[in-house]
Chains A and B, each alone.
Chain A
Amino acid sequence: MRRRPRDSVTWDASSPDEDLVGWAQRGEREAFGLLFDRHFDSVYGYCYRRLGEREAAQDAAAETFRKALTALPGYRPGAFRGCLFTIARNVLADAARRHRPALPLEAAANVAANGETIEEIAIAHSELASVISLLPRLTPDQHEIVALRLTGLSSAEIATVLGKSRGAVGMTLHRALLRLRELLLTAPPVVTGGEGHD
């Protein structure tokens, strides 16, 4: 039987999500803090796999939790993690849009000044052969599903987050893997262990 918040007299780091949500709804902000501790890394990981930049991913993950906290009073018991990733999906769209124009025009000038081509810079970049560089070459649906899967969500959770059937998720993931197989076969080996942008 599921423990409902009203049944639990206390909570700690081992309490299930739904209990912590219940306590957080009753004003226990530290319960939300535990939810934050539990899920921030995975939400951040998902954001990073979608955006490819550490700072933007951090901002998007933080914004996800801000929105989750704001939405807490209206949250109905269910899959908190799924809700979190649904929020993250929406946040990412805004985050990507806001982040992109930050690329200064001067960046292009610097490239020319250094005498390096875009390709040379890209090859020099240690992330070229990492998954992050490959994911944008998938279709948007494939990119999203692979990012969620790498983050650790099950097919059922992904289906909930995306509002699709498990079969459709499986099919898209399968196609994504076939495409990635092609891409991986042609990509050079990883140079380093992948420190992100900062």
Chain B
Amino acid sequence: MTDPRFGDHLQQVWDAVLQGEALPAEEDLRLGETIQTLVSRDHVPPPDPAFVAQVREELTGTATAVAPPPSADRSMPNGHAALPIPLLPTGVPMPRPRWARSRWVLAQLATAALLIVTLEGSYFAFGPGWPRRPDDPALLIPALSATPLAETEVTTETLLDVSSNLLPDKRAIFALKRLTLQPGPNVMTILPVIGLVFLVMQSGELVATANDVEHHLGAGETFATTAREQPVDLRATGGEEAVALLVYLQSDADVPFPRDAVAHALEVLSAESVEAMPNGVGRITLDKLTLAPASEPSPLVVGPLERFAVGEGRATIAAESEQLPYQWTSGAEQSKVAGVRLPTFAPGTRLSLRNPEQRPLVLYRLGLRPRTDLVAAPVPTVGEPSVTLEAAPTETLIDTTLAALPAGRNRVAVDRWRLQPSPSQVRLPAYEGLVLLGVVTGEVTVTVNGSERRLAAGDVLDVTNQEFLFRASGSAEAIAYAVYVTPSLNLDHQVGQAVARLWLDGDHLVHAMDFVISSSADDLPGGSARLLLERLTLPPRTALPPTEAGPLVWTQVGSGELWLTLEGERLPYRWASGEERRFHQFGRVPLPFLAPGTKITMRNAGNEPLVLYRLTLAPGDGAEGDAAAP
């Protein structure tokens, strides 16, 4: 029965149930009961409002800020002069390669002026025991103000006040997040980012491990890292949870903080994009304002590039300015609780804050301003490649012709299976479209419809529309690639179930699977085609000559770091023509869709080989198809 009236009738029943109307027919009653039960058990937790606000801001661009004119240094509330702290160019962690060491020396010479300017302040800040090793990827910064300055109804405590000549030299994300780590073995990892990350401890204890060096942090201490090439692991120690504020300026798009979502919580208090600081020199401040219960201190005026966030309690805020954020009316109060992002207020906006509750209200004020009194350091750009290759060393994994490529919209995916010799089998369900299993090394036995086929290296089996089982049947490890071009949206779920079964059955020691390519195609032409799966390896410090993106080519990073420059008319969101971005295996950030004709330049700026997987479909480049049918 595909009469459209049937769908309409069912909708009427559904709507009637929701509105509590009577259902006359017996069948409808049963359906209605099911719908009622279904709806009553349909619990969707609300999305994190901070996350929603962050995404909205990202999409609408309302928070984009312009670097303000330089402002004079200020004093900290406790009366001490704010101490500019030069962050050493610590982007290259230990053990550092030779090239980096030589560049480090050059950078040191060039930044001598900066060091001299800040030497005195640094001495007072850190004392003689401060670790000054140039290779140290992370700096420990003592608490800046242990004695908060009490005002009438507000207490201001400076948590962070650093100046650096290593700020991102292009548009960056400037964010304040609050991290809560439960004690336990699970770590939270700050992945390598391009920029600076500060971790300001609030309570508890934690250990930050970078380059196998452990830094023990307690309340009031600050940890800073550029974390450019090495991740930093955070783990709560002691018997209580550790709470820290994370301030970061990050100019790439990677996800910097993967974590165990059960053990750790990460709240976005403030996040926005900011323009580059002139010469990459600037000063970052973080103040904690505590308003007494039921208090209403004097209004304050928002400075350039100052952001506010509610940390604890409920704030009632009225803003007065000619340029107010969206849905704010001059002088009208709005109530904001912790976790709800405040908008960006234009410089000069007069903010009247009130704590309406009988508990303290904590606000954070995050500031970023340029400094013209400090010289810019010649920040070593990450790895100009010394060699441009004519072509990357390429290994062909699968090269076969297909009689019938699926047409239209399809999922395009490649999985890599590493199989140890064992009678234990991997079972994958049937998919329509196209499913190939290609063996690269070793021997694999595939069972389809009860019959076995033995595949050696170089063999490719077409297992489309059939459930199949496979295992390594030789005496050595086997590696096989499964290629899917399928309209099935269930692909991911079912392959995931297969992997989950391996874990639950203990077979993860025997079989391991990596997602190599996971993408889609909007409009496959169908017909005969050549399918080519390749693995490209770029040695360290090499680049490939520019190429143009093809419509049916998918590339992903297997290991290492890819620095990708795109040029063209139709680029991915917020990707400026000529801009270079980094992709690596850590953040599971896939390469974006590239419009055909986009000019691509790839390079390996790292010190490890860069492995890329590339799948190419060449329509019309095949006749009968040579993948063996089972």
Contacts and interface: CB of A to CB of B under 8 A. Distances in A.
Interface of A: 29-30, 32-33, 36-37, 40-41, 44-45, 48-49, 54-55, 57-58, 61-62, 65-67, 69-70, 89-90, 92-94, 96-98, 100-105, 108, 118, 127, 129-132, 136, 140, 144, 146, 149-150, 154-156, 159, 165-171, 173-174, 177-178, 180-181, 184, 190, 193-198
Contacts of A96: 492-493, 496
A162 to B, nearest CB: 10
B3 interface: yes
A154 B15 CA distance: 10
Given A93-B489, A108-B504, A167-B6, A177 B43 contact: no
A126 to B, nearest CB: 9
The residue in A41, A89, A146, A155 that gathers the most chain B C-beta atoms within 10 A of its C-beta is A155
Given A29-B59, A33-B60, A118-B504, 10 more contacts: A90-B409, A98-B518, A146-B38, A167-B2, A167-B5, A167-B7, A171-B1, A173-B10, A177-B38, A193-B43
Contacts of B59: 29, 32-33, 36, 65-66, 69
Nearest to B493: A96
Contact of A94 (B43, B44, B499, B519): B519
6 contacts: A36-B59, A54-B48, A105-B508, A131-B38, A150-B42, A156-B7
A113 B409 CA distance: 44
B47 A40 contact: yes
A136 to B, nearest CB: 7
B4 interface: yes
Interface string B600-626: 000000000000000000000000000
A15 B260 CA distance: 42
A101 B55 contact: no
A157 B378 CA distance: 57
Contact of B7 (A41, A140, A169): A169
A62 B54 CA distance: 10
Contact of B34 (A67, A184, A193): A184
Interface string B579-591: 0000000001010
Given A36-B59, A66-B573, A184 B38 contact: yes
Contacts of A136: 493
Nearest to A109: B503
B47 A58 contact: yes
Nearest to A126: B43
Nearest to A41: B47
Nearest to A36: B56
Contacts of A37: 56
A100 B261 contact: no
B232 interface: no
B563 interface: no
Contact of A93 (B5, B35, B491, B508): B491
A190 B41 CA distance: 7
B7 A98 contact: no
Given A29-B62, A94-B590, A130-B41, A61 B8 contact: no
A168 to B, nearest CB: 5
B99 interface: no
B38 A98 contact: no
Contacts of A102: 258, 588
Contact of B31 (A127, A130, A177): A177
B496 A170 contact: no
A167 B58 CA distance: 40
B413 to A, nearest CB: 7
A33 to B, nearest CB: 4
B503 A70 contact: no
Contacts of B504: 108, 118
Contact of B47 (A44, A49, A146, A167): A44
Contacts of A144: 489
B411 interface: yes
Interface in B487-528: 488-493, 495-496, 499-500, 503-504, 508, 515, 518-520
A170 B573 contact: no
Contacts of B590: 94, 98
B56 A33 contact: yes
Contacts of A40: 47, 52, 55-56
B261 A181 contact: no
A61 B9 contact: no
B61 interface: yes
B124 interface: no
A197 B496 CA distance: 19
B465 interface: no
Contact of B45 (A65, A154, A174, A194): A194
B226 to A, nearest CB: 26
